[in-house]
Structure 1
Amino acid sequence: MIQRFIELGEGYGDVFELCELANLNKNRIHHAFIFTSKKEDKEYFSIAVALKPINNANFFPIYICREGIPNTAQVPKRLLAFKKTLEDIQIQPIQIDIKHSSTFVDTNLFYQYIIGVLRLNHLIPPLQ
C-alpha cells in the first residue's frame, strides 16, 4: 500500500481547506492527527487527516498542513477550527510530538520519518 503525505500548505488558509476535506470525506477518515514540534524553543502544530483507500485502490493519502500554526498562550483559531470540524464529525484527533521538519535535509525524509512513527504506533496500516 502506498502511503503518502499530500501537503496542502503550511497552515494558513489551507487549514480551512483541510477542514472541508475532512467534512466531505468523513466516512473515509482513518485518523486525524495534531503533530507538535519544536524549533528554537518555539512550538508549532501540524494538522493532518489520513483517509482510507477508495475501493480497491492501493493508495492511503495523508493530507497535512505542516508547521504553520505556532503554539501561543491563547489557542490558535486555526487549531480551534480544525478541532471543531473533527468534533462535528465525531473524530477524536491523536496528538503526537515529533521532530521539526527543519531537522531533516529534505521534506521527503521528514514525511518518511512521520510514516515510520505512525506505523510503529499502529496508527496507519503496515506495508503490504
Structure 2
Amino acid sequence: MIQRFIELGEGYGDIYELRELITSNQQRFMHGFVFVSTNSQGQDVLSIAAAFKPASEGNFMPIYLCREGIPLDSKRLDIFEQTVSELGHTPIKMEVKHSSVYADRKFYHSHLISVLRLNHYIPPMQ
C-alpha cells in the first residue's frame, strides 16, 4: 500500500478544503491528526492532517496535510476539531519535530508516516 502525504498548504484558507474533503468522504475518513512542533523562533505551531482509507480500486492511502501554519489557540484548529468530532472521532494530538529539522520535506513525511504506523494509526507497509 502506498501511503503519502498530500500538502494542501499551511492551514490558512486550505483548512476549509480539508474540512470539505473530510465531510464529502466520510465513509473513507480514518483519523484526524494534530501535530504540534516548535519552529526555529521557539513558537509552537500546529499541522493538521486527515488520513483516508484507500479508494475501492488502487492501493493508495492519502493523508492530507496543512503544514505548520496554525498557531496553538486558533479558530482554524476549532474548525478542524469540530469537523472530526461530528464524525464521531477525536483528533489525535502528537508532538513531532518541525519540518525545518529535515534536509528535505520527503524525509519529514517519511518520519511522520513511520510514527503513524508504529502507533497503529495507519496500516503497516505491505
TM-score (normalised: structure 2): 0.95
Q: Report the secondary structure of 1:127's partner residue.
A: coil
Q: Distance in 2 between matches of 1:121 and 1:88?
A: 24
- Tell me what 2:50 maps to: 49
Provide the aligned C-alpha RMSD in A. Answer: 0.9
Given the alignment, which residue of 102, 105, 108 partners 1:107?
105
Please list the CA deviations of residues 74-114 of structure 1 after superposition, one character each: whole Å capped at 9, or x if unmatched. x2010011111112222211111100000011111100010
Instruction: Give the SS at the match of 2:22.
Output: helix
Q: How many residues align?
A: 125
Partner residue of 1:88 out of 86, 89, 108? 86
Identity %: 51
Question: Who is 1:78 aligned against?
Answer: 76
> Partners in 2 of 1:87 and 1:30 — Cα distance?
12
Structure 1: state its 5+ residue gaps: none
Q: Which amino acid aligns with 1:82?
A: F
CA apart distance, 1:56: 3.6
Q: Which runs of 5+ in 2 are unaligned?
A: none
Q: Give deviations 1:24-59, integer Å, cap 9, x for gaps.
A: 011101111010001232101100000001114200
Match of 1:125 in 2: 123
